[in-house]
Every structure is written in structure tokens, then in C-alpha cells.
Amino acid sequence: MLRSCVVTAMISLSILFSAAVRADGPIVIKFAHVVADDTPKGKGALLFKKLVEERLAGKVSVEVYPNSSLVGDADEMQALLDNEVQMLAPSLSKFDKYTKKLQVFDLPFLFDDGDAVARFQRREKSRELLRSMVNDNIYGLAYWNNGLKQLSSTQALHRPEDAAGLAFRIQPSAVLEAQFNAVGAKPVRLAFADVYKSLAAGVVQGAENPWSNIASQNMHKVQPFITESNHGVLAYMLITNGQFWNKLPFAIRSELEGIILEVTQAVNDEAEALNRRDRDRILAGGTSKLVTLTDAERQAWREKMLPVWKAYEDEIGADVIRAALTVNRRH
């Protein structure tokens, strides 16, 4: 009697559980970002969706919201913390509120090139930074790279003095603010979604972005000059809500981690080619004139901006800056 009661109870429970699973359907990951689909990050998000839906079909589905269409710079982090979205990939310049150490990526003229940035991201110091916001429930999954930033403007910028008095749009980063202050320009914090219209309306006269963001937002159409300065980097941290992530069934989380490794590799391998393609497209379009710096001119920008390293050394940590410097070949 007792045995049959237990069996009946178990059967009812399992019916209940499977009904719950059916009612709940697959786990949904909402992945929001602020750029266009045809950019390193945009393509990465779509590749992530494709691989997840192939390999975890029926278990996990991914909804990608590009172009600040669900949440943007102002509200995306809160949305992640509220578990309204489960994945974001904000630029490393957008984490000031949570950690100062990531500001290392904003230091001007720190990295020789994109490869150096990728090398640094594989080092222990960078890996530690992925976990630097866990107490805020922000869990870093990977670094995704876009590329080196160029200076676009209404005026030809050859020497740092050429930027004096011009207003430049910046991301919300104290280091970027200091970088533009160092050349006598006026930094203005604006959300990415507002950059094109602010440039078009003349609210700001310049900006800094890799070619892929300039092209996909049509910034070049309102910026007659682009100085190929390669003065800084634009890189992202793929992040998730820590509680959401830890509650995922182990097998699903492991599969997602494998997919993230694969997508990260693809994004970082392809970013440079995408930027080259967009550089060619912009220059072929003829809306913007390319300003190429001589070695002496580039050195002049570097010298003006270099004091920013010292000013932020305490906040970032001398050890972190030193670790970043060692990845350059000339070091």
C-alpha cells in the first residue's frame, strides 16, 4: 500500500515537473547592445545566438537587441542587474561606477596595436579584471575587441593644438575626459545612440571611434576629416547577471561557456578585417578626408596625452598598467 502511494506520488510529481518545464519553455537570454549588426560586436551577438540555438535547441533561445533598441547606455546595466536582460557587451569605458581598474584600457597610446590588446587580455591581470565586479553581481565572461580608435572632426587634426576648443563626444570615462582636456578640447559625455545626431547638429564637433562604428553610424557623413591616430582602443566585456548565470543547470552553462570561447575567437579574429573594410568604404565614399600623422605629429599627441597615465595610476594600479605595457613588442 505504502509502496503504491509512493509510486503514485512520484508519478504525479514527475508529471507536474514536466508540465512546469513545458510551461516554462526554453531559457531565454536577452542580449542587448548599442551598435549595429554589421560590426564586430553585432556579428558576435548574432553568432552567439546561432550557435546556442543549434547546440541547445529547445533548451535555450537567444534574443538579440542591437542599436539600443531595448536598452541603451543609460539603462542597460540596471536592466542586467534587474535580470531584464541577461547579456550585454559594454565597452570597457563604461564600467567606471563598478571598478576603476578597467580604465587601463582607456589610457591613450598605451597599446601598440590590437594584437597587444589581445595579448594583455590573455594575461592573468586581465583575467582577474573579468571578476572585478562580482560583488555587484556583474560577471565577466570574455573580452571582445573592436579596434583602435580614430579621431573624427569638422577640422583637420594634425597636431594636438588643432583640437583646442573643439567639443568631442566621449564615453562616460574619467580617463577619456582627461585625455581630451590634455589637448585643450572639451569632452562631452553622450550615449552612443546620440552621437550621430549630436555631430550632425553641431553640438559636438568631433568624436573618437574605430572605423566600424564610424561607418555603421554614418558619422563620416557629418565628419569631413578623420585622423588615423590609433590613439586608443575600443574593447568590450561580455557580461551577464551573476545570479542568473550561477543558477543555470551545469550542463547548459558548460555548453554556453564553450560557445562563448568560440565566438570570442571569431569576433577577435574578424574585427581587424571589418575595420579595414569600413575604412576602405568610408574613404571610397569621399565624404571624409583622411589625415595621416607624421611620426613627429603622432609623437606630439602622445606627449600631450601621456600625463593621463600618471594621473590615473593610483586608481588603476601601477601593477595593472605595468602588466599592460609589457605586452607591447617594443617593451
Would you give the binding string for ligand LMR spanning residues 131-150, x where CB under 6 A is met? ---------------x----
Q: Which of residues 196-255 bind ligand LMR (CB under 6 A)?
A: 209, 213, 234
Residue of this chain nearest to ligand LMR (CB atom) = 91
User: Dihedral through CA 87, CA 88, CA 94, CA 97, nearest 10?
Assistant: -20
Residue placing its CB nearer to ligand LMR in the complex, 197 or 247: 197
Residue placing its CB nearer to ligand LMR in the complex, 86 or 213: 213
| Smallest separation, CB 231 to ligand LMR (Å) | 14
Binding of residue 126 to ligand LMR (CB under 6 A): no
Binding of residue 171 to ligand LMR (CB under 6 A): yes
| Smallest separation, CB 310 to ligand LMR (Å) | 25
Task: Tell me how far apart the alpha carbons of residues 271 and 294 are, in angstroms, rounded to a whole number.
Answer: 26
| Smallest separation, CB 200 to ligand LMR (Å) | 16
Number of residues that bind ligand LMR (CB under 6 A): 10
Residue placing its CB nearer to ligand LMR in the complex, 27 or 35: 35
Closest CA to 71 of 84, 59, 62, 61: 84
Residue placing its CB nearer to ligand LMR in the complex, 56 or 86: 86
Measured in whole angstroms, the distance separating CA 304 from the mean position of its chain's CA atoms is 26
Residue placing its CB nearer to ligand LMR in the complex, 90 or 242: 90
Q: Which of residues 73-112 bind ligand LMR (CB under 6 A)?
A: 91
Task: Tell me how far apart the alpha carbons of residues 71 and 58 are, in angstroms, rounded to a whole number.
Answer: 26
| Smallest separation, CB 254 to ligand LMR (Å) | 28
Task: Tell me how far apart the alpha carbons of residues 250 and 269 are, in angstroms, rounded to a whole number.
Answer: 29
Task: Tell me how far apart the alpha carbons of residues 255 and 243 are, in angstroms, rounded to a whole number.
Answer: 18
Closest CA to 39 of 47, 28, 29: 47
Neighbouring residues of 30: CB distance < 8 A, sequence distance ≥ 6: 62, 63, 65, 70, 84, 85, 86, 87
Provide the grid cell at 319.
601593477
Of the candidate residues 192, 301, 309, 312, the single one contacting ligand LMR (CB under 6 A): 192
Neighbouring residues of 105: CB distance < 8 A, sequence distance ≥ 6: 92, 93, 117, 233, 235
Q: Which of residues 285-304 bind ligand LMR (CB under 6 A)?
A: none
Stretch (H or E) spanning 46: helix 40-55
| Smallest separation, CB 281 to ligand LMR (Å) | 18
Q: Which of residues 31-50 bind ligand LMR (CB under 6 A)?
A: 34-35, 41
Neighbouring residues of 263: CB distance < 8 A, sequence distance ≥ 6: 44, 47, 48, 51, 142
Q: Which residues bind ligand LMR (CB under 6 A)?
A: 34-35, 41, 91, 146, 171, 192, 209, 213, 234
